Amino acid sequence: GPALLFVKTSQGKEEGRRFYACSACRDRKDCNFFQWEDEKVSETRLAAREEYNRSHQPPFTHRQNVDRYKNFVLLPLSKRRFCQECQQLLLPAEWEKHSDHQFLCGITTTQLKSPSQLLYPLENKKTNAQYLFADRSCQFLLNLLIDLGFRRVLSVGTPRLHEMIQSRASQEEEFSVRSLLLDIDFRYSQFYTEDEFCHYNMFNHHFFGGEAARETCRKFLCEENGERVIMVTDPPFGGLVEALASSFKKLMAMWKETEKEGHDNKEMPMFWIFPYFFESRILDFFPSFSMMDYQVDYDNHALYKHGKTGRRQSPVRIFTNLTPSMIVLPEEEGYRFCTVCQRYVSSSNQHCEICNSCTSKDGRRWKHCVLCKKCVKPSWFHCNNCNCCTLQKHSCEQTDVGCFVCGRAGHKRSACPSLS
């Protein structure tokens, strides 16, 4: 889809040179697209770029994949094969072509209903960062959504939540929740119809299926018969918050357009799942959001797992525009309700009378610094040279380092007043 416009800055210079780069891949090894904003591109280079794009298209369209799936489920179990190298369901006529590849045999209906466990997770941190919810977190999220009365879930980059909803819907007649998955991983088109999955880039709000896919999403967001909609998103943590926020606002605007009245002063309900240290960035774009203490954990991430203590705990939280008191967290997992804050917090998150808030962000008990006038991490101490709390073993000289854009001290590049 469309590239994003960036600026290349040099320390001490206010003016930077603007360039276009890939919105999804943050490493040139994965996508070498680069173009200065003021650069004139030759016809030869444009043609080469078009040819490169054509050669990197998936082998089948979404419609073809849907037809292939219908034929695949009709096969007896002994003839159901999945190529692990090509990450593709195979029909008997294609076996010869994949004869020297590793493949799985006897693919069951249960496996087809859980594609996130059949497919290899794409774990390149700078491109996909496809870390999948642990069953505990996924089950908690689904139960919470049901308890809050939501019957439609726009699953943006949350394939495991989507498949849990799809699986429950196919097994339980009375289960009334529906989900639409928006994801950049086109492999999911092998398992879901056009009404269940849209190939989507959340960094530039691009629907690869064009207007038809956009209309599918718009229709899904229509709240018919009082079926409330919520968006749940779990973006790659290395992604630009600005780009993500822009796309999410466009999805919210699409939701607003679906109703002639009633949405005027409202935001579409949303769960944005992201590490707690991005809190200030998210609140810059969505001031109505607040961060919950619930620790989200992942199956295939070495660090972000439940049950670890201290700094080993998962830093991933839920940011939401719903009223915090509505989000009930499980007491058996170490959460309690703070009557002053009117929200559930981690048991070790003690209420600070001076800040008038439960201030801990990482699950540990934080301490109040009178000089900083705020609560800080328990391992931090006030440094009179730096005039702030920091780690005991730090280098005071670092405070002299100025902003990379304007060279002045007191702020970082991201907060530089010289940048628009």
pLDDT band at 400 (very low <50, low <70, confident <90, very high): very low
pTM: 0.87
pLDDT band at 312 (very low <50, low <70, confident <90, very high): low
87: pLDDT strictly greater than 90: yes
Residue 114 CB contacts under 8 Å (≥ 6 apart), including other chains: 163, 167
The rounded distance, in Å, linking the Cα atoms of 164 and 142 is 8
Per CATH, the number for 135-347 is 3.40.50
pLDDT of residue 245: 96
Alpha-carbon separation of residue 183 from 108, 205, 206, 386 (angstroms): 24, 11, 10, 44
Strand order in the sheet with 103-105: 88-90, 81-83, 103-105
Q: Which residue has the higher pLDDT, 327 or 399?
A: 327
Average of per-residue pLDDT values in the chain: 87
Burial string for 364-389 (b: 16+ CB within 10 Å, else e) reads bebbebeeeebbbbeebeebeeeeeb
pLDDT of residue 307: 53
Beta-carbon count within 10 A of 171 CB = 9
The rounded distance, in Å, linking the Cα atoms of 268 and 289 is 12
* pLDDT tens sequence across 365-398: 889 998 888 989 888 989 888 888 988 888 885 5
Q: What is the bridge-based pairing of β-strands 290-291 and 270-275?
A: unpaired
* pLDDT tens sequence across 90-132: 999 999 999 999 989 999 999 999 998 899 877 555 555 567 8
Contacts of 376-381 with CB under 8 Å at 24 or more apart are: none
* pLDDT tens sequence across 203-252: 999 999 999 999 999 999 987 777 899 999 999 988 899 999 999 999 99
Q: What are phi and psi of 72, to 5 degrees?
A: -65, -45
The rounded distance, in Å, linking the Cα atoms of 381 and 363 is 19
Chain centroid offset of residue 96 CA:
38
From first CA to last CA, the distance across the chain in angstroms is 25
261: pLDDT strictly greater than 50: yes
- The strand pairing partners of 290, in sequence order, are 320
Lookup: tokens for 43: 């016809």
Q: Which amino acid is at 224?
A: E
Q: What is the bridge-based pairing of β-strands 150-156 and 228-233?
A: parallel
Q: Residue 251: exposed, middle, or buried by beta-carbon count in 10 A (0-12, 13-18, 19+)?
A: buried
Tell me which residue of 228, 226, 227, 200 sits closest to 213, measured CA to CA: 200
Q: Which residue has the higher pLDDT, 378 or 161?
A: 161
SS3 52: helix
